[in-house]
Every structure is written in structure tokens, then in C-alpha cells.
């Protein structure tokens, strides 16, 4: 499981994220914000930036307890090859994450 140690929301609906292992990425979440009904209050760039916080243990980012993005999902959006690496060899019968 990945954890977020630093994050900054940007007005273009992307996120600058640093994970616990020191890896950093800019993740574009504009399509999620545009499509998800729970994200509707955060479609203003100013509100998107100002309302984001890191969940206490770094497992997710959230916006006013209404809209949340999990650290693993953000990591795999930034580095899809890691999703393949981490889950392509899963034994039969074990679930795979919905990324």
C-alpha cells in the first residue's frame, strides 16, 4: 500500500504528489473531477486547490470529506507499469484492484 507524504492541488485539476518512497509525480485528475458527481462542488479551480487535504495516515487525498482519491489509485494513474508489475502475477482467485 502506498502512502502520500506531500501533495499540492493545482488549478488545472492536477496533483503534485510525493509518496513515502520519495517518488514524485504530477497526476491529472481533471477527468475524474469532471465526471464524478461527488466532485461537482470542487470544479472551481480555487475550491479544488483550497479544499484538498491529506488523510491523516497518507492513504488518500480528500476534499471536505465529500470527494476522496486513494493513494494507490493515484500512484497507479501516475505509473501504470507498476499496476501491471504488482498485480499481473497474482495467483488465481486473488482479487485485483479497480484502478
* DSSP code string of 6-67: EEEE-TTSEEEEEETTS-EEEEE-HHHHHH-GGGGGG-SHHHHHHHEEE-TTSSEEEETTTE
Structural domains present in the chain: 4-87 (3.30.2020.10)
Model confidence at 90, pLDDT cuts 50, 70, 90, reads low
pLDDT, tens only, 46-58 = 999 999 999 989 9
CA gap 31, 8 in Å, rounded? 18
Residue-wise pLDDT tens digits, 2-41: 999 999 999 999 999 999 999 999 999 999 999 999 999 9
Q: Which of 79, 77, 61, 78 is nearest to 69 (CA)?
A: 61
Cα(39)–Cα(68) distance, integer angstroms:
9
Is 93 a residue whose pLDDT tops 90? Answer: no
Amino acid at each position: 500500500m502506498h502512502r502520500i507524504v506531500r501533495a499540492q492541488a493545482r488549478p488545472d485539476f492536477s496533483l503534485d504528489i510525493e509518496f513515502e518512497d520519495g517518488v514524485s509525480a504530477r497526476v491529472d485528475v481533471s477527468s475524474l473531477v469532471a465526471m464524478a458527481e461527488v466532485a461537482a462542488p470542487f470544479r472551481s479551480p480555487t475550491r479544488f486547490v483550497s479544499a484538498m487535504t491529506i488523510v491523516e495516515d497518507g492513504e488518500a487525498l480528500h476534499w471536505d470529506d465529500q470527494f476522496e482519491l486513494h493513494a494507490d489509485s493515484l500512484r497507479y494513474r501516475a505509473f501504470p507499469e507498476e499496476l501491471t508489475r504488482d498485480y499481473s502475477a497474482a495467483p488465481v482467485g486473488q482479487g485485483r484492484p479497480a484502478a
